[in-house]
Amino acid sequence: MNKSPALLSTANSLLIIVDLQTKLSAVMPATEAKLITANAGSLVEAAVILNIPVLVTEQYPKGLGTTDTTIIQKLPEATPIFKKTGFSCCLAENFCNVLESSERKQIILTGLEAHVCVLQTALELLHNGYQVYVVEDAICSRKSVHKIYALQRMQQQGITIINHESVLFEWLRDASHPDFRSISGLLQ
Query: Which of the residues are catalytic?
Result: 19, 84, 117
User: 75 in the Ramachandran plot: left (φ > 0), alpha (ψ -120 to 50) or beta?
Assistant: beta
Residue 7 amino acid letter: L
Q: State the chain's maximal CA–CA distance in angstroms.
A: 51
Question: DSSP strand E in 12-168: where?
Answer: 13-18, 54-59, 81-84, 106-112, 131-140, 160-162
Residue 158 CA: distances (Å) to CA of 13, 24, 91, 114, 130: 18, 28, 22, 16, 11
